[in-house]
Amino acid sequence: MKQIQKHELSKAVSQRIDEILSLTKLPIQELSNLTDINPRSLNGYHWGTLPISLESALKICAALSLDLNTFCDFDKKLSLKKQRFTVKTAAKKEKTEKPLDKKAEALQLQQREKKEKDRQLRDQIITLVRSSDYFLYPRTLPQMVLDFSKNYQLNVTEQRLQAILQRCIADGSIKRQTTPWDYGIGYYLPKRTWVYFKNKKDLVNDPKKIFGYDWIRNSIVV
């Protein structure tokens, strides 16, 4: 490969890129996508108005499966058959990877939206616990799930609600106590459950009030 002057290099690169576009039948934008080179820069190399960087030359070589010496040997023509096959394979790979990227982005967006909804639900329930009088009387998880959905439009599962209430118990906003006796679904499935209530003086100082609460079976287990 003969040495060329700096002012001739841009012209040689311009001709090489023109040759690549001609062989591959690609518009400049698609070649930009394949090589991951900014279209504006690639246009500059093509028209000879911008000196090519080594990084860009290597990107072109990688996209077309060329070694750098072959790309820079401006006295030799590129192989028509080889370049068409290489670009066709690269373009096919790009088309198959893009939908996967879109699916991954959509999944990430869904996960972020779900996380934000969960955060909002958690904050709303914690605010309700701390600022309302709902827990002046003992409440069970099934009872809360129904009430929250009906009265506050907060749709939450028992498991999720239990996890949120645990935070409120930890900071002292509410208390939790087991039911005074076993309640059951039907006659043969006894079930012991928890009740949650505000940390009020009369309930804390007189635990018998909890055990003496006028329990209604349907309000304990649904």
- pLDDT for the residue numbered 155: 92
pLDDT given for residue 80 in this prediction: 59
- Give the distance between the most distant pair of CA atoms in the chain: 101
Which residues on adjacent β-strands are paired with residue 189?
185
Average pLDDT, integer, range 76-95: 62
Q: What is the mean pLDDT of the chain?
A: 76
pLDDT of residue 7: 67
Confidence of residue 184 (pLDDT cuts 50, 70, 90): very low
Judge contact between 217 and 190, C-beta under 8 A: no
pLDDT in tens, 102-149: 778 888 888 888 899 999 999 999 999 988 888 877 788 888 999 999
Q: Read off the amino acid at residue 204.
A: V
pLDDT per residue over 23-68, tens digit each?
A: 888 888 888 888 889 888 888 888 888 888 888 888 888 888 888 8
Domains with residue ranges and CATH for the chain: 6-104 (1.10.260.40), 132-220 (1.10.10)
Comparing CA positions, the residue from 155, 196, 149, 152 lying closest to residue 172 is 196
- Work out the angle at residue 124's Cα, subtended by the Cα atoms of residues 120 and 129, and round it to the nearest 5 degrees: 150
**Comparing 90 with 168, which gets the higher pLDDT?**
168
Q: Among 23-32, 101-110, 166-175, 205-214, whose mean pLDDT is lowest?
A: 205-214
Beta strands in the chain (DSSP E): 174-178, 183-185, 189-191, 194-198
Predicted structure pTM score = 0.46
Residue environment code for 154-188, b if the CB has 16+ CB neighbours within 10 A, otherwise e: bebeeeebeebbeebeeeebbbeeebbeebeeeee
Q: Which residues pair with 38 in a beta bridge?
A: none
